[in-house]
Structure 1
């Protein structure tokens, strides 16, 4: 296959075309696609051609280790002329092909590294070897070297979508997120129909590099391709929460729920929480009430508290106070009584405020002085000055509330000294 011939008008230069076509049984075929040189190398001597043909036959016959050893030996003893150095590069390529067939990608990559370092070889051929070495480094799991080679390769050639996605994956594997982001953007710009795995890679890279808007759009693109995976809906909702779009997160979750993809108690509870965060608490309160009534979720203290918080967000005073009253009576815990009292206090429901703070204090609630102050205000607002006075005097015993309690006691004394106000208070 390697021939040395003479023509009337000069010696025919045996460039790499036929040599590399002969390599079709070697590295080129193994890595996909027949290589064809685009530029001729220096003329090969007849001795080099004969040796290359012999090594090619050995390669075809499966004598891989022998090819590696012989090719490396010939490469080591090659002369310094341009033709000899070109032959040396081809010996190394043959050795790399044999190493690849022995499932030694790291060894094959090292041999190609030596081959492409020979500047006598045409630039186009060295670029082809760089590409092949890059792929071999990936096979050998030598990701740092592969990443460097992919960067060099991309800087010298126009890569297709498949290779661009591979470059992104290598950098992501190394957690080099800025570089991975650059490769993902190149890949998406050249690929109008990325696969599901490629979109998943893009979403991961966008998240890791802080490009959450882009990540959310990719996840939605995945949903458009296949909306049957609940994890995708969860991921999309989580991303929108992270970028400060809880309304969009709630809308996505609602869509997944309505399609029957998101289901079960946990999904329903998360659906309610997202509606609460997204500005539609009334929807959350309604679905929680219905779920509790129908037994779709466990009638637990935690779920009752969630319902009460949802009603409180709607600012439906009656429903909210009723819900917190139910929770407090059910648990008899200081925190729940305080929540009832605090909510009622803000809305001027003084009877429930008094009850909430008094019960919270009785159950050992934090900051009893402050609880006494608020209870005293609730009693005062109901016109019971004597009882309010007693409560404020108790509050005076605590350092943190003594000053304010004293001011309220002074106000009560002032009220009593003014007949017109005293009569109004007694009528409350």
Structure 2
């Protein structure tokens, strides 16, 4: 941020020094000399003595010339800008912003230059965490700068500042025109979602999240979209988002896989959950344990795949030897007209001490 601000504040000085009111030769030479001294300072080092001399001289000159004619006023403004550049190099963003504010107030400064300094001051206030001041300056600049190449970038900065201040209604006003242009980055997508959700536009937030997902999107973007869909009760959307992320390799852990399976179960696609369970146990990603077997039995039962469901329930009951699992297997088999399997299951449950299954066995006499 510091390097960017330095470039921004320095960028116009050599150009504007001759662009407005004609300046005396000695003033031009002095301004260019100070700028050269500043430019000669290494970017990664701070020579406080040199910078302090530049700042002191620039401030002295700006003060001396402040009450003169239009050329003097213009020179005074340029000295303020030069002092701001040196102060940025010292990391004093607040003082640098104050210098640009003083430069903007000189009566001979053209409106185009005022706007440039207004934007630079906003950036400095932002760098100094003076959010309230930065917001006001960005709003002022944006209001007067439609069509400027930096408009969209600055608008996004303003929206982020407003979001940090939790001024959601103001943020949505600046955000809405930008959304019509499309082409949001991941960071802009996340900011858009935060603003939309905070003003209660959850459907729109989910739409922007899902529509903005690409193969290049970070895993967190996929998680955020699936999480918001879950919170809104749209389990099928959450399952679809998670499935796509899984296929793209965004998620790869066992916990991610189990989340995918549970989302399919909740989202009305249990057969897909069953397929993932079968594949992952064959590949060794999931253990062939009670949890996996129970998920598999529930998935195929929910999918009403008779053969697979009954086989899964049998495997679960054989593994756990719990009477309630044998009874559940028997009840499901009986419901689906598989009497032989049902009777066998109830007999096993009774042998394990399940009194309820004794009543079920009476149907087979």
Normalised TM-score (structure 2): 0.68
Contact 1:58 1:64 in 2 (8 A): no
Residue correspondence of structure 1 range 370-409 to structure 2 within 5 A: 375=356, 379=359, 382=362
Q: Which runs of 5+ in 1 are unaligned?
A: 1-25, 364-371, 384-426
Residue correspondence of structure 1 range 7-406 to structure 2 within 5 A: 30-31=10-11, 50-51=26-27, 53-62=29-38, 64-76=51-63, 83=70, 88-118=76-106, 121-158=109-146, 159=148, 160-174=151-165, 176-190=167-181, 193-203=183-193, 205-206=195-196, 211-220=201-210, 222-224=212-214, 226=216, 230-258=219-247, 262-263=251-252, 265-293=254-282, 295-316=284-305, 320=309, 323-324=312-313, 326-327=315-316, 330-331=319-320, 337=325, 340=328, 347=335, 375=356, 379=359, 382=362
CA 1:122–1:260 in 2, change beyond 3 Å: closer, same or farther? closer
Contact 1:321 1:340 in 2 (8 A): no
Cα deviation digits, residues 30-51 of structure 1 (max 9, x gap): 35797659x967x98x7xx855
Cα deviation digits, residues 113-155 of structure 1 (max 9, x gap): 2333455644443333211101122333444432332122222
Contact 1:337 1:356 in 2 (8 A): no
Cα deviation digits, residues 27-72 of structure 1 (max 9, x gap): 76635797659x967x98x7xx855653442332345422322332
Distance in 2 (alpha carbons) for counterparts of 1:74 and 1:359? 102
Q: Give the superposition deviation at 1:82.
A: 6.6
- Which protein has the larger Cα radius of gyration, Structure 1 or Structure 2? 1
Cα deviation digits, residues 249-270 of structure 1 (max 9, x gap): 3334444444555545444433
Higher deviation after alignment, 208-217 or 336-345? 336-345
Distance in 2 (alpha carbons) for counterparts of 1:359 and 1:86? 101
CA 1:90–1:304 in 2, change beyond 3 Å: closer, same or farther? same
Give the structure, 1 or 2, with the largest relative contact order (CA under 8 Å, sep 6 or more).
2
Q: Give the superposition deviation at 1:313.
A: 1.7
Cα deviation digits, residues 293-348 of structure 1 (max 9, x gap): 554421122112211221332245675466456545644669x6599399769959
SS of the counterpart of 1:61? helix
Distance in 2 (alpha carbons) for counterparts of 1:357 and 1:34? 91
SS of the counterpart of 1:224? coil
CA 1:286–1:94 in 2, change beyond 3 Å: closer, same or farther? closer
The alignment of Structure 1 onto Structure 2 pairs a total of residues equal to 341
Q: Calculate the aligned-residue CA RMSD, in Å.
A: 4.8
Contact 1:97 1:108 in 2 (8 A): yes
Distance in 1 (alpha carbons) for counterparts of 2:135 and 2:93? 16
Distance in 2 (alpha carbons) for counterparts of 1:123 and 1:223? 42
CA 1:338–1:208 in 2, change beyond 3 Å: closer, same or farther? farther
Q: Give the superposition deviation at 1:187.
A: 3.6
Q: Which runs of 5+ in 2 are unaligned?
A: 1-5, 39-49
Contact 2:189 2:208 in 1 (8 A): yes
Normalised TM-score (structure 1): 0.60
Distance in 2 (alpha carbons) for counterparts of 1:319 and 1:326? 10
Contact 1:105 1:139 in 2 (8 A): yes
Higher deviation after alignment, 133-142 or 85-94? 85-94
SS of the counterpart of 1:133? helix
Higher deviation after alignment, 244-253 or 213-222? 213-222
Distance in 1 (alpha carbons) for counterparts of 2:198 and 2:12? 33
Distance in 2 (alpha carbons) for counterparts of 1:79 and 1:257? 65
Contact 1:220 1:236 in 2 (8 A): yes
